[in-house]
C-alpha cells in the first residue's frame, strides 16, 4: 500500500533537510525543566552513562543512546501515573524532533505501554533502567559505596525481596534476557559504568 506518511516525510527532508537531532545540552535543559528532584536527575544521569557504554559495547550511536537514558523518565515527576508516563513525555519529545528510535525505546521501558522492544537501544534501556537504580540502592547501604562492589552482593540483594522493594525483579530479569547476554556479565557491566561515573553521580 502507498505510504503517504513516508512520502510526506521525504518531501519535508528535501525541503527542510534532515531533521536536526537535539543536542545533549538541550536534553539536559529539558530534563531540568520538568524534573526538580535531585534523585530523579541523578537517576537520569546514571542511566545515560550506562546507555552510552551500552552503545559503545554494541557499536551503536552513543549520543542517541545517551539521549534515551537521559530523558526516559523526564516527564515522570509531573506526570507519574500509568496513563501519563511516558506517553506525555513521548509527545513532547516528538514535537521537539527527537528520533523515533529514541522515543520507541522510551515507550518500551514502561512494560505497561506494550510497545515492543525490537531495537538494541530499546533493549539496552529496559535492561539498564531498573538495574542501575538497584545497583545504586545497594551502593548506598555499603560503607565503601560502589568501591569494590561484586555482582554477588547485587544478586544477593535481588533475592532479598524487602530490599528496594519497589524495584521490579521481573523487569530486571526480563531486560537482561531480552538483551541476550548472561546476567552476571550485565550486572558487572552496570557496576563498572557506575563506578567510572561515581564522582559525577555523587556516589564517590
In angstroms, give the least distance from the CB of 129 to Fe ion: 4
Note whether 75 binds Fe ion by CB under 5 A.
Answer: no
Closest to Fe ion by CB, 39 or 152 = 39
C-alpha span between 201 and 21 (Å, rounded): 26
Note whether 73 binds Fe ion by CB under 5 A.
Answer: yes
Binding mask 134-173 for Fe ion (x = CB under 5 A): ----------------------------------------
**Segment near Fe ion (CB under 5 A), from 21-29, 128-136, 156-164, 187-195?**
128-136
**Segment near Fe ion (CB under 5 A), from 72-80, 118-126, 146-154, 177-185?**
72-80
Note whether 48 binds Fe ion by CB under 5 A.
Answer: no
Grid cell digits, residue 186: 550485565
In angstroms, give the least distance from the CB of 31 to Fe ion: 12
DSSP element (H, E) containing 50: helix 38-57
- The torsion angles phi and psi of 21, rounded to 5 degrees, stand at -80, 130
- DSSP at 81: S
C-alpha span between 120 and 130 (Å, rounded): 17
In angstroms, give the least distance from the CB of 152 to Fe ion: 25
Which among 164, 163, 201, 169 is positioned nearest to 187, based on CA atoms? 169
Residue whose entry in the numeric block shows the C-alpha cell 521481573? 170
Check if the beta carbon of residue 179 is closer than 8 Å to that of residue 186.
Answer: yes
Closest to Fe ion by CB, 33 or 150 = 33
* Residues engaged in binding Fe ion (CB under 5 A): 73, 129
Amino acid at each position: 500500500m502507498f505510504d503517504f506518511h513516508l512520502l510526506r516525510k521525504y518531501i519535508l527532508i528535501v525541503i527542510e533537510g534532515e531533521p536536526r537531532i537535539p543536542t545533549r545540552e538541550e536534553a539536559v535543559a529539558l530534563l531540568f525543566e520538568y524534573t526538580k528532584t535531585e534523585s530523579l536527575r541523578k537517576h537520569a544521569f546514571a542511566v545515560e552513562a550506562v546507555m552510552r557504554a551500552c552503545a559503545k559495547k554494541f557499536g551503536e550511536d552513543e549520543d542517541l543512546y545517551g539521549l534515551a537514558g537521559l530523558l526516559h523518565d523526564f516527564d515522570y515527576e509531573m506526570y507519574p501515573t500509568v496513563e501519563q508516563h511516558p506517553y506525555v513525555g513521548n509527545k513532547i519529545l516528538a514535537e521537539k524532533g527527537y528520533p523515533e528510535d529514541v522515543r520507541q525505546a522510551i515507550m518500551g521501558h514502561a512494560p505497561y505501554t506494550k510497545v515492543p522492544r525490537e531495537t538494541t537501544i530499546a533493549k539496552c534501556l529496559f535492561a539498564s533502567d531498573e538495574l542501575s537504580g538497584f545497583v545504586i540502592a545497594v551502593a548506598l547501604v555499603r560503607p565503601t559505596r560502589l568501591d569494590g562492589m561484586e555482582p554477588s552482593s547485587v544478586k544477593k540483594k535481588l533475592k532479598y525481596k524487602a530490599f528496594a522493594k519497589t524495584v521490579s525483579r521481573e523487569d530486571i530479569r526480563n531486560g537482561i534476557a531480552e538483551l541476550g547476554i548472561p546476567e552476571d556479565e550485565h550486572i558487572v557491566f552496570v557496576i563498572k559504568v557506575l563506578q567510572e561515573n561515581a564522582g559525577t553521580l555523587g556516589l564517590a
